[in-house]
Amino acid sequence: MNDSKEKLCPNCNSLLNYENESFICDYCDSKFSELDLENIKNNIPITSDITIDKVTRYIPFTKTKNDLLNEVKRITKGKIFIPSIFKRIREEDIKLQYVPFYIFDIKSEGDTNLKCTDIVSKVKDENKIINIKKYKTTINSKVDFAKIQVCANNDFDKKNIEGINEFDFNNLSDIPTDLDNTLETNITYNESLKIVYKKCRKLINDLVMKKTEHKYSVINSNNIKYDLINAELVYLPILYVEINYLNNKYYLKMNGESGELDLDIPISNERMFILTTLVFLITVLIASLIFFLGGAK
């Protein structure tokens, strides 16, 4: 094989063989064209003629700052290991923000190669016999329709809002001229396609995990086709509080439409240490009293 054609399998890192204008992996049975490898390398196997110039629609807030405040109070009430700063949140600390999202309508199909291991144990003549069977199989999966959301603001995306991004897109409305509290879009449409690609592959893999009962490790989702049906840039409503605690930032977030929560609350190590120390001291004291009283008899 020509040195210029030497490439590693992107799934198992084995050396690919170049045969009949294709790259073939003998280890995981994957097969790629030169274009496939280039697309995987650049993380952009999806291309589209769709162009998006600006945000045109949004989902209005149905939840208020007081809703998030009450939920935080309810969840933290009586929890002695939660730091006090998370229990002293005020309404003015909460921010209402319309965050830009790219919304993609996609359909996808692909074959997933699995390397399977079945382990069967049985007892015969009081001896335990274990049979291990290893084999490979391929499962085809289809996603007829899915909506994929990609945050279009890089700064806000760092706050990890995956836990509250389930919205009812039937409630999208045209943007009024006086809409406040909006974040700018600083992730381009083409950059967002890279994330769509990763999420599409995860959709296929998740389907495979539900469809098979084998004990296996997924080697590759290959020969996957993605069709982008539609894409739109919209504003979605999110409430959040940013808390600085022990030189770390924590975020308490709420979906401004559904009220879905994602609370990033740590445990107070100081309180945990104090309680553990008290329990230890009380245990030592009780043990000493028992020993003393037993000796007195």
pLDDT, tens digit, 9 for 90 and up, residues 201-239:
788 878 887 777 666 566 555 667 778 889 999 999 999
How many beta carbons lie within 10 A of that of residue 286, not counting itself?
10
**10-14, 57-61, 243-247, range with greatest mean pLDDT:** 57-61
Q: What is the pTM of this model?
A: 0.72
d(C-alpha 258, C-alpha 237), whole Å: 10
d(C-alpha 159, C-alpha 224), whole Å: 31
**57-58 and 31-32 as β-strands: parallel, antiparallel, unpaired?**
unpaired
Q: What is the token pair recorded at 46? A: 């999806």
Q: Is the dihedral of CA 84, 74, 258, 162 positive or negative?
A: positive
Q: What is the token pair recorded at 231? A: 């894409």
Q: Is the dihedral of CA 137, 142, 147, 150 positive or negative?
A: positive
